[in-house]
Amino acid sequence: MNEEIGRRLREAAEAHQPDRERILARVHRGVAGTAVRPRPGIARSWPKVVLAGSAAAGVLAVAGFAVAGSGQTTPARPDGDTTLSVPATTAAPSASPSPTGPASPPAQGQPNRTTTGRPSPSTPPPATPAVPAGARVTDGPLSGQGAVDPHSTVFWSQSKLTVDAGRPLTAFVVEVRVAQTGGVQSTGQWQTAPADDFTVTAQESDGAVVFRWVLKPGRTVPAAQQIFAVQYNHAAGPRDAGLDTYRVEATAPDGSHTIRGTYR
């Protein structure tokens, strides 16, 4: 059935001889009839507009079919100045192109560069205030304070170191350095702890007379106050003990501790 209809349509198209002038005249009339003629105060209704547009489209369709059915026959150009102007199809406006100009520079600084604040000049840390002469020094359970015995004379002096142990000490070393200010010679030393618990020495070294107490292995210094005193001769007259120093190293249950100080 479909093939028969197609065959008949092709035969009819081949036999048809279109009248080009009549077709063009009908097209012009149809196009002219679709123009919207505004009337004052009255808007044209939508149904009429739609019908007019449909009529024009139908006329154009018939004309196109007739021209296509003429096969390869090229109709002669009509006489006269009448021409058919078919407006070219206008493509839909594309999206607005992005501006191609140079990008605006950043508001501040320079592009692709990280700005950082200028480092301030390095300031040396404040110096640790010196411990006053004869002040008590503490490290954990260990503390000590040195002083020159007020009973010293113009020829002889005694310097005492008081050590407080808050816990038993399993290792213990005391060192007292008496600066060689002239005529300094050792005359002895003593301590409140048992003498047999320590190895004691006194000798000159690096411009000072050095007294040392070293706790013997297996001995313990109890948690108590201990005094270690050194005695020495010196040149006649008052003696400045500002250069005399002491150091105590001890081991307690919580670890090692060290204190250093001076005499007054």
Please tell me whether the overall predicted TM-score, pTM, comes out greater than 0.85 for this model.
no
37 token code pair: 């003629």
Q: For every one of its 264 residues, what pLDDT tens digit does the chain have, with 9 covering 90 and above? A: 677 787 887 877 777 666 777 777 777 777 665 544 545 444 444 444 444 444 444 434 434 443 344 444 444 444 444 444 444 444 444 444 444 444 454 445 444 444 444 545 455 554 444 667 778 999 999 999 999 999 999 999 999 999 999 999 999 999 999 999 999 999 999 999 999 999 999 999 999 999 999 999 999 999 999 999 999 999 999 999 999 999 999 999 999 999 999 998
Instruction: For domain 137-262, give the CATH number.
Output: 2.60.40.700
Domain ranges of the chain: 2-35+45-69, 137-262
